């Protein structure tokens, strides 16, 4: 095509993002071989379901395609212009690229055994006039069912139009094959599930070594169930072929795990093995300056992969002299990586997530006691000095070496302090993070003192690390405050179960409540009272979205048990809207009930 003199390479009617990305990269390689630079226009096909054939929403398509650096993004085929309107509106409002709209001449239908399309030339032209004048579309045309008469009408109607000015607001984020996940979360920090990691999870490592790929996938999907927005995938393990392992697991994660994937490896070729399977938008973990910024360096190779595959990048604050410890050192490295990524490789600020590094606070080394403070202050400085970028931490390293119960509490407290400073994302085991309101005061205070290195006290001998070891010396299990509820009424017990997301014993308490109340009364007067408390804590900042979702899961289980016991007359009562809400997706439940 290039040798033949084409003016544009059109990648169109794409129903699978992975196929589209492969085609775009093929165009780029052909241009490089020919020594030419030709514009690329990339178009997806949205079905009547409102999604592409694999189930991809338009937001995921935008999130995956725009970072590829194509020149025009658009939609064509499958439907007529009327059915495209909502998707075109999203394209023009969130993509900074010129937008193309190439619809069919209406929806296809069969007349006398032949395919027919019902839109007249005038009607098609009127739709395009609206796309141009109202939404700012700049590339228009016709796909299936359109004729020379259709195109002539479009030209006559639209040739003299001035496209409406656009003010698109791109939404930085990652995408799975199915949906887009913004890095900036309205109601939570961005949760990156850490368990699919051969170095950090024995269960995942054993499954990988046994090549039990289904078990590996199950660990990934469980992270999503525990409210992870993204899933961190690391297959690095001594003696293993990382490329082969990544190929086997990423090919399954790409379609079977609903969340976007963070490809975590010290080897860029292992990252690339994962990128070749991911149709959405991945995040690469990570780039750093350990071996400098020259050709062939790790940073060069990772940023090059990000540009080629349209990925985002986690940037670790490490340079040629080591891991950045103090605040000024961290910021020097951050500025170098930012300048390198944006000027040399054309990445945008929103493509970058900076990790100011988490060091253990549990070693007892006086030289390390201020590391938590340095990390938190670096988060504040990065958000101020590098506008548009995001911050991320691997939280659990702060508690390395402590007992599991102590680790859970210290991780939760450190994370809460980092989020207050502006942290956007955290690599954590979401199911092991606790809301501060459920941590006993003595544990919460000593962990906060350790994070902020508060020592001395009135007699000058207080050491939060020593005290923390004492506090947790006889704590071996869950550390949440356990209250004596023996004198509580059944309404108080059930409401608190919703607040604390306690499933164990839920059915017994529901049966007890049914001895005094109707099923609908239990929902409206008891369970929703618990969700009201959840809403108040959420609004005040004392409870974050992951814990809201856990409460919503408990609410959903309770309603599922009660609904079959309701009388028919109850189904049309004021509890109907609650029931229909609670039966839906858990993320929606949390938001709607709050």
Averaged over successive runs of 10 residues, the pLDDT of the chain (594 residues) comes to 97 97 97 97 96 95 97 96 97 97 93 89 97 98 96 97 96 96 90 94 96 96 90 96 98 96 97 97 97 96 98 98 96 98 97 96 89 97 98 94 93 96 94 86 95 87 94 71 68 87 86 90 89 80 68 86 74 53 58 58
The DSSP element (H or E) to which 59 belongs, if any, is helix 58-65
Between CA 304 and CA 25 the distance in angstroms is 13
Distances (CA, A) of 271 to 126, 205, 210, 262: 47, 18, 22, 9
Residue 542, pLDDT score: 64
Going by C-alpha positions, the residue among 516, 527, 533, 514 that lies closest to residue 559 is: 527
Distance CA 321, CA 43 (A): 46
**Contact (Cβ atoms closer than 8 angstroms) between residue 16 and residue 54:** yes
Strand partners, 40: 9
Cα–Cα nearest to 44, from 25, 27, 21, 71: 21
Rounded to whole angstroms, the Cα distance separating 358 from 347 reads 25
Return the structure tokens found at 254: 């790409």
The DSSP symbol for 352 reads E
- Whether 38 contacts 7, CB under 8 Å: yes
Q: Compute the distance between CA of residue 338 and CA of residue 112 in angstroms, rounded to an integer.
A: 62
Residue located via tokens 């090059």: 304
Q: Closest Cα partner for 409 from 426, 419, 395?
A: 395
What residue spans of 357-463 are helical by DSSP H?
A: 371-385, 404-420, 441-451
Residue closest to 232 by CA, chosen among 251, 253, 214: 253
Q: What is the C-alpha to C-alpha distance for residues 539 and 79, in angstroms, rounded to an integer?
A: 42
Sign of CA dihedral 575, 579, 581, 582: positive
- Its pTM surpasses 0.95: no
For residue 411, the number of C-alpha atoms closer than 13 Å in the C-beta half-sphere is: 25
Q: Report which of 343, 449, 439, 357 is spatially closest to residue 400, judged by C-alpha positions.
A: 357
């Amino acid at each position: 095509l290039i040798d033949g003199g084409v003016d544009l390479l059109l990648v169109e009617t794409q129903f699978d993002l992975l196929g589209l990305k492969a085609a775009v990269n093929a165009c780029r390689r052909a241009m490089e071989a020919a020594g030419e630079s030709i514009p690329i226009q990339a178009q997806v096909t949205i079905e009547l379901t409102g999604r592409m054939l694999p189930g991809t929403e338009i937001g995921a398509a935008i999130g995956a395609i725009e970072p590829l650096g194509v020149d025009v993004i658009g939609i064509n085929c499958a439907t007529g212009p009327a059915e495209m309107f909502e998707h075109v509106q999203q394209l023009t409002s969130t993509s900074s690229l010129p937008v193309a709209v190439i619809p069919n001449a209406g929806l296809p239908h069969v007349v006398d055994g032949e395919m027919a399309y019902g839109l007249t030339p005038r009607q098609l032209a009127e739709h395009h006039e609206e796309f141009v004048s109202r939404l700012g579309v700049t590339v228009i045309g016709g796909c299936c069912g359109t004729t020379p008469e259709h195109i002539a009408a479009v030209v006559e109607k639209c040739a003299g139009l001035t496209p409406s000015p656009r003010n698109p607001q791109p939404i930085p984020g990652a995408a799975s094959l199915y949906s887009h996940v913004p890095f900036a979360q309205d109601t939570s920090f961005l949760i990156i599930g850490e368990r699919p990691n051969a170095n950090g999870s024995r269960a995942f490592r054993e499954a990988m070594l046994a090549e039990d790929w289904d078990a590996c996938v199950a660990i990934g999907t469980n992270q999503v169930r525990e409210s992870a927005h993204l899933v961190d995938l690391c297959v690095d393990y001594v003696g293993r072929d990382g490329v082969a392992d990544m190929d086997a697991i990423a090919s399954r994660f790409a379609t079977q795990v609903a969340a976007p994937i963070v490809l975590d490896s010290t080897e860029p070729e292992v990252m690339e093995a994962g990128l070749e399977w991911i149709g959405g938008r991945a995040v690469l973990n990570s780039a750093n300056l350990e071996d400098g910024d020259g050709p062939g360096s790790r940073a060069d190779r990772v940023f090059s992969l990000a540009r080629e595959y349209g990925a985002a990048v986690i940037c670790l604050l490490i340079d040629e002299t080591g891991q950045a410890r103090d605040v000024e050192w961290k910021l020097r490295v951050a500025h170098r990586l930012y300048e390198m990524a944006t000027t040399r490789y054309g990445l945008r600020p929103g493509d970058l997530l900076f990790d100011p590094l988490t060091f253990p606070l549990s070693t007892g080394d006086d030289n390390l006691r201020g590391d938590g403070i340095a990390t938190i202050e670096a988060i504040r400085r990065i958000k101020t000095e590098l506008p548009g970028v995001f911050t991320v931490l691997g939280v659990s390293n702060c508690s390395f070496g402590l007992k599991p119960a102590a680790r859970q509490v210290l991780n939760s407290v450190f994370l809460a302090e980092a989020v207050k400073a502006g942290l956007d994302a955290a690599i954590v085991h979401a199911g092991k993070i606790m809301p501060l309101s459920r941590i006993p005061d003595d544990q919460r205070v000593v962990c906060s003192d350790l994070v902020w290195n508060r020592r001395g006290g009135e007699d000058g001998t207080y050491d939060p690390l020593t005290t923390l070891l004492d506090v947790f010396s006889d704590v071996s299990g869950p550390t949440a405050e356990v209250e004596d509820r023996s004198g509580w009424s059944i309404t108080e017990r059930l409401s608190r179960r919703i607040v604390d997301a306690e499933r164990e014993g839920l059915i017994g308490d529901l049966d007890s409540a049914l001895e005094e109340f109707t099923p609908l009364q239990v929902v409206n007067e008891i369970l929703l009272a618990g969700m009201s408390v959840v809403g108040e804590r959420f609004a005040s900042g004392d409870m974050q979205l992951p814990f809201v979702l856990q409460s919503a899961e408990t609410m959903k289980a309770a309603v599922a048990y009660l609904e079959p016991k309701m009388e028919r007359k109850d189904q049309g009562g004021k509890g109907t809207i609650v029931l229909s809400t609670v039966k839906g997706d858990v993320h929606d439940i949390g938001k709607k009930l709050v």
